[in-house]
Amino acid sequence: MAIEVRIPTILRTYTDGAKAVEGAGGTLSALIDDLEGNHPGLKERLVEDRSGSIDLRRFVNVYINDEDVRFIGGLEAELSDGDQVVVLPAVAGG
Amino acid sequence: MLTIAQEIFDAIVAHAKRDHPDEACGVVAGPEGSDRPERFVPMVNAAGSPTFYEFDSTELLHLYKDMDARDEEPVVVYHSHTATEAYPSRTDIGLASEPNAHYVLVSTRAHGNSEGPVEFRSYRITDGAVTEEKVTIVPLTNPQQTEEASTP
């Protein structure tokens, strides 16, 4: 099962410069674990441990077919073959 | 060094003054690898705050898809400080995620929404290190065309 994942510039150090990589998984969480296998270090940049539970980092946005995953289940958001996932760091500051 | 056209400089300053006392934010996109900030894209500050800015997540996706379709990248990422100097805050440094962008900071603390000069400074922010750079303002993006247009 192939899911295309678009990688932002700042994380391309983990993908040998590739703008997009392929992964597999029935949920976003499973996809991130699958990606970590081929691109070690990537997971750490996407999720964090928040008082014992793993969640998406506050300033990382992930979209499945143009929907912000925060509105469709977060890490448990479901994926199917052919879905497109986009990762974008928040543009934010103080 | 950041080289930016006068009208884009003016548009950034006008946006910052308009949104004062909240922070204003946006990008100037340009052809990938060109280092030329050409397309001014003001963004809504979803945080609506005098001390924080954040692009709305849906608008952020649209912006990046649009740039992708045009083979562009964010050459400038700008935002304003409304009570402090035009220097990246700790949060700005921690969240900077475009290593190739010029981070432009505008401070509206001196004149707020009113006429008057603003601080306009540019930085590179990579791996937590801030390097200020010179800003060169060029008269017009395409002076030749404008001259012709103004000829009766």
Q: What is the pLDDT of residues B93-150, one digit of tens each?
A: 999 999 999 999 999 999 999 999 999 999 999 999 999 999 999 997 554 444 444 4
Q: Which long-range contacts (CB under 8 A, 24 or more apart) does A61-64 make?
A: A61/A87, A61/A88, A61/A89, A61/A90, A61/B57, A61/B60, A61/B61, A62/A28, A62/A86, A62/A87, A62/A88, A63/A88, A63/B61, A64/A28
The residues in A 49-78 lying below 8 A from B, measured between CB atoms, are 59, 61, 63, 66, 68, 70
Q: Inspect the interface and report whether the beta carbons of B89 and A90 lie closer than 8 Å.
A: no
A58 lies in which domain range? 3-89
- Judge whether A40 lies within some domain: yes
- Judge whether A21 lies within some domain: yes
Q: From the list B53, B61, B89, which residue is nearest A66 (CB)?
A: B61
Question: Taking the mean position of all CA atoms in its chain, how far away is CA B8?
Answer: 9
- Judge whether A76 lies within some domain: yes
Whether the CB-CB separation of A22 and A29 falls below 8 Å is answered with: no
A18 touches chain B (CB under 8 A): no
The region of weakest confidence among A10-14, B12-16, B142-146 is B142-146
What pLDDT is stored for residue B147 in this prediction? 43
Residue B152 pLDDT exceeds 50: no
Q: Which domains does chain B have, with CATH numbers?
A: 2-143 (3.40.140.10)
pTM here is 0.91
Give me the number of domains chain A comprises: 1
Mean pLDDT in residue range A56-70? 97
B97 touches chain A (CB under 8 A): yes
